[in-house]
Chains A and B, each alone.
Chain A
Amino acid sequence: MNSSISGSNRRAPAGCDVRLAWRHWLTIFCGTFFGLSALLFALLLLIDPYDTGRFPGFGLVGIGDNTTRTADASRGRDPQFNAAVIGSSTGQLLDPYRLSREAGFRFAQLTIAATGPQEQLILMRWVISHHSQYGAFVVVTDPLWCSSDPDLPLSRPFPFWLYGSDLDYLAHLLSSRSLDRAAWRIEIALGIRKPADPVGYFNYMNQVKHAFVPGPPGPSARIDRDNWLPPSLPWVDRLRAFLADLPQSVRVVIAMPPVYFTLLPQPGSKQAADLDACKAALAKIVSDRQGSGFLDFRLDTEAAHDAVRFADALHSGEGLARQMEDAIIAVLRSDEVGINPSHRTIPQSGQYGRRSWRAQPVMDAIP
């Protein structure tokens, strides 16, 4: 096909008028496209759909967003909270109301399902950059924190731009997602929509309809003790670097949540040795901080063999969550410098045995 576009209007009698009309055409397009884009953009800046507080706006209060990936931008900077639970879905059942009531801090639940250490570190940085003083972090470290991969792939997309620089934020602001949230904020201001819970607590057990049916344990490679090298732990190192910049007054509890025993490594295996090394490293990074500590629930206990106490192999039920809260509250309430029960709680490779939760040395360490 001939691709010529030579204009017939050049030879038209009213050539100048036609050219003027095409200029008018271009002006209308530019006016509509850029004008409407600029208008939408300005409106979004003023409404602040994610309540990031980056720029002066209408000062609307409350968000209608129940997607934790985006809603945590608002919760994370909310001045009414001075403590947060950070983690993936494995920390979701920790009750911020109870933690606030009994630990003496004002807790928000900032766990985000299907996230890893990269997203959680960014969220912690966001939180701390929006508070001149902060009370406590409870970091629920699921197995991804022990990964040796410094470039862990994301389980699901994460809006890094929302927690990044202003320029990055502006570059991503114009979107259908932003328009939705802007509309919700206006509806809240007009009183026709209820704002989302600012604390962010959601009990997933209310939605679990089927009992957990355990699968077989996974295979574990036997350890060759002569050739075993401690694993590299890039994410633990990054957490250490983050905590090093935190004021000493911020209390930090790192909790490794329980899993059903089929997910635990076989005693004496390489995986068990790697996990022990990770636990020791995590325990060490909070060992010099007051009212802080490492709590190890990823143990082969009686409870870890009780399927009724789990939603699935990775997610514990409410009973175990309450037990975790007990231990967390106890650490946060203590004034001991560097509660570091690791030397008593972390069994060496091959020393795993079935113990009851109550017999955990973790609890022994808490005054």
Chain B
Amino acid sequence: MLFNSHSFLLAFLPGAIVVYAIINRYPRLRIPCLLVFSLLFYGYWNPSFVLLLVASILVNWFAARQFAATRNGAFITAAIVLNLAVLGLFKYADFFTGSLAALGGVSIGRLDFVLPLGISFFTFHHIMYLADLRRGRAESTSLNRYALYICFFPQAVAGPLARWSEVGRQFGRDAFADDWEQRCALGVTFIMAGLVEKVALGDPIGQILDPIYQAATIAPLHDGSAWLALGFGFQIFFDFAGYSDIAIGIGLLFGIQLPYNFNAPFRATSILMFWQRWHMTLSRFLRDYLFMPLADMRIAGMRHTVTQYVVAILLTMALCGLWHGAGWNFVLWGTMHGAAIVFALGWRRVLPSPPMILGWATTIGFFLVSGVVFRTASLGVAWNIYSGLATFPDTRILSKAWIVGVGALLAIALPATQELCQRINLRPLAWVPAVLGVIGVGLLVQLGGNESYEFIYFRF
């Protein structure tokens, strides 16, 4: 079930809220109730993968309990390895066998597994919990609370990646205590903002760009449309930030505050700042659970600190790319960003900061240009677009793609959605919900008119 569907917005979500409002009076039933809704939500896509999700919850919870009882870190290590193995089997097996076959000419049969929805995200949630448990930053918990942490429906499929310490204790709290009215109003505003980002900006930009990327699979783009292909950076921003905002809004309706995922990344004036504002929960995960262990000075010793640091950055970002998809284009994209981060750190060490406008233009330009590699399946296709940048688009092409320009302007000019939503809801103004309601109906109509566009991050 998609957040941007009539069935979710007009049936599942209102139904879940009404049932939860009734159940809320019985504290013991709150977590089981949310758990049932979460499994229903997940199972709507493919019921058979509910079994995989449930099995992964049981195995990881068991490992966590064993660790809590024995303090034997082997349980944690084994569980993390098993999680990565399952992720590898479903997501990367064909990629690795295909790459090996290409290198060595050895033909190995494809597995062609269907990728379970959200496997990258729930695997990372398991790893985060287990690692935090070992570090003493998370506590052993009951099965139903752990299960809800993994599969809470607003975040299970595509994040945000919440730490246990951020959300674990929120589950089961009274959702209709204190200022629930204001919290719910904020939640509604987040949902509407997210839908506008996805339905009114991300999808229309995608409709412009899809034929351009399709054309690039055949021949170089010498009609000027290659410049529009750079707009993919804005499309994926509105798509994923929209998803994250809807997830945060839904969480608030159930009394759960999820972490923010974006903070106006197109205002960043350096690549370092960009990654502190883009997919923040993933950046945080990569920093704490991948980069930090890789950069641990005990590995290479003091003499090789700089080399180890550089390698750790490059490896972290290459794996960040690989996490996004099983393809060398994703690895290249991640490595490009890793190299840019190393370059920026080196610059900061030896040279004065460039003027802000130059830093901003370079950062955003680099992100948009590298986005082409992310979007295309092969380097040949990406080259067909890059070589087309020699031709500037004429006004006929630009006038048809005005939404890309509007999206770019909004992405750059507007503050982060959380700031915007809180500003709108400083006081309970009566016109705000009326306008949001009308916008909501407009979005429903728009959603019904088009084929449903899946969120891009569902593929990851």
Using a CB–CB cutoff of 8 Å, the interface residues on chain A facing chain B are 1, 3-5, 7, 9-10, 18-19, 21-26, 28-37, 40, 157, 171-179
**Are A18 and B428 interface neighbours, CB within 8 A?**
yes
Question: Which A residues touch B418, using CB under 8 A?
Answer: 1, 3
B188-227 contact mask (Cβ, 8 Å, vs A): 1 or 0: 1000000000000000000000000000000000000000
Which of B179, B422, B436 lies in contact with A9, CB distance below 8 A? B179
6 example contacts (A-B, Cβ-Cβ < 8 A) are as follows: A3-B260, A24-B430, A37-B444, A171-B7, A174-B444, A178-B448
**Are B428 and A21 interface neighbours, CB within 8 A?**
yes
Q: Which of B260, B416, B440, B446 has the most CB of A within 10 A?
A: B440
Tell me if B's interface is mostly helix, strand, loop or mixed: helix
Question: Which B residues touch A176, using CB under 8 A?
Answer: 445-446, 448-449
Question: Which B residues touch A28, using CB under 8 A?
Answer: 430, 433-434, 437
Chain B residue with the shortest CB-CB distance to A180:
B449
**Are B179 and A10 interface neighbours, CB within 8 A?**
yes
With A1-B418, A3-B257, A3-B418 in contact, is A175–B449 under 8 Å at CB? yes
Question: Which B residues touch A172, using CB under 8 A?
Answer: 6, 448
B112 contacts chain A at the CB level, 8 A cutoff: no
Q: Once bound together, how far apart are the Cα atoms of A9 and B186, in whole Å?
A: 14
B10 contacts chain A at the CB level, 8 A cutoff: yes
Question: Which A residues touch B263, using CB under 8 A?
Answer: 1
Question: Which A residues touch B416, using CB under 8 A?
Answer: 1
Question: Which B residues touch A35, using CB under 8 A?
Answer: 437
- Min CB distance A24 to B, Å, is 7
Which of A7, A30, A173 lies in contact with B182, CB distance below 8 A? A7
Q: Which of A33, A37, A174, A176 has the most CB of B within 10 A?
A: A33
With A3-B418, A176-B446 in contact, is A29–B259 under 8 Å at CB? no
Question: Which A residues touch B313, using CB under 8 A?
Answer: none
Query: Apart from A18-B182, A22-B184, what 15 extra A-B contacts exist at CB < 8 Å?
Result: A1-B263, A3-B257, A5-B186, A7-B182, A9-B182, A22-B179, A32-B433, A32-B436, A32-B440, A34-B14, A40-B445, A171-B7, A174-B6, A176-B448, A177-B449
Q: Once bound together, how far apart are the Cα atoms of A40 and B449, in whole Å?
A: 14
- Min CB distance B119 to A, Å, is 25
- Min CB distance B189 to A, Å, is 9
Q: Once bound together, how far apart are the Cα atoms of A175 and B450, in whole Å?
A: 8
Q: Once bound together, how far apart are the Cα atoms of A35 and B188, in whole Å?
A: 16
Which of A3, A24, A32, A157 lies in contact with B428, CB distance below 8 A? A24
- Min CB distance B199 to A, Å, is 12
**Are A32 and B179 interface neighbours, CB within 8 A?**
no
**Are B437 and A33 interface neighbours, CB within 8 A?**
yes
Using a CB–CB cutoff of 8 Å, the interface residues on chain B facing chain A are 6-7, 10, 14, 178-179, 181-186, 188, 252, 257-260, 263, 280, 416, 418, 422, 428-430, 432-434, 436-438, 440-441, 444-449, 451
**Are B6 and A4 interface neighbours, CB within 8 A?**
no
With A3-B260, A5-B252 in contact, is A25–B445 under 8 Å at CB? no
Tell me if A's interface is mostly helix, strand, loop or mixed: helix
Which of B7, B10, B181, B438 lies in contact with A25, CB distance below 8 A? B181
Q: Once bound together, how far apart are the Cα atoms of A28 and B440, in whole Å?
A: 13
Q: Once bound together, how far apart are the Cα atoms of A31 and B422, in whole Å?
A: 22
Q: Once bound together, how far apart are the Cα atoms of A45 and B258, in whole Å?
A: 39
**Are A29 and B436 interface neighbours, CB within 8 A?**
yes
Question: Which B residues touch A9, using CB under 8 A?
Answer: 179, 182
Chain A residue with the shortest CB-CB distance to B431:
A28
Question: Which B residues touch A3, using CB under 8 A?
Answer: 257-260, 418
Chain A residue with the shortest CB-CB distance to B258:
A3
Q: Once bound together, how far apart are the Cα atoms of A105 and B197, in whole Å?
A: 53
- Min CB distance B196 to A, Å, is 14
Question: Which B residues touch A177, using CB under 8 A?
Answer: 448-449
**Are B260 and A1 interface neighbours, CB within 8 A?**
yes
**Are A26 and B448 interface neighbours, CB within 8 A?**
no
- Min CB distance A42 to B, Å, is 13
Q: Once bound together, how far apart are the Cα atoms of A32 and B184, in whole Å?
A: 16
- Min CB distance B427 to A, Å, is 8
Chain B residue with the shortest CB-CB distance to A7:
B179
Question: Which B residues touch A1, using CB under 8 A?
Answer: 260, 263, 280, 416, 418
Chain A residue with the shortest CB-CB distance to B445:
A176
Question: Which A residues touch B440, using CB under 8 A?
Answer: 32-33
- Min CB distance A44 to B, Å, is 10
Question: Which A residues touch B182, using CB under 8 A?
Answer: 7, 9, 18-19, 22
Which of A19, A37, A157, A171 lies in contact with B451, CB distance below 8 A? A157
Which of B6, B258, B433 lies in contact with A26, CB distance below 8 A? B433
- Min CB distance A13 to B, Å, is 15
Chain A residue with the shortest CB-CB distance to B11:
A171
Chain B residue with the shortest CB-CB distance to A4:
B257
**Are A36 and B441 interface neighbours, CB within 8 A?**
yes
Chain B residue with the shortest CB-CB distance to A37:
B441
**Are A22 and B181 interface neighbours, CB within 8 A?**
yes
Q: Once bound together, how far apart are the Cα atoms of A178 and B447, in whole Å?
A: 12
Question: Which A residues touch B181, using CB under 8 A?
Answer: 19, 22-23, 25-26
Q: Once bound together, how far apart are the Cα atoms of A37 and B9, in whole Å?
A: 11
Question: Which A residues touch B446, using CB under 8 A?
Answer: 176
Q: Once bound together, how far apart are the Cα atoms of A3 and B434, in whole Å?
A: 26
The 4 closest A-B pairs by CB, nearest first: A32-B437, A175-B448, A22-B181, A29-B433
Question: Which B residues touch A21, using CB under 8 A?
Answer: 428
- Min CB distance B282 to A, Å, is 15
Question: Which A residues touch B252, using CB under 8 A?
Answer: 5
Q: Once bound together, how far apart are the Cα atoms of A53 and B73, in whole Å?
A: 67
- Min CB distance A283 to B, Å, is 38
Question: Which B residues touch A31, using CB under 8 A?
Answer: 437
Question: Which B residues touch A19, using CB under 8 A?
Answer: 179, 181-182
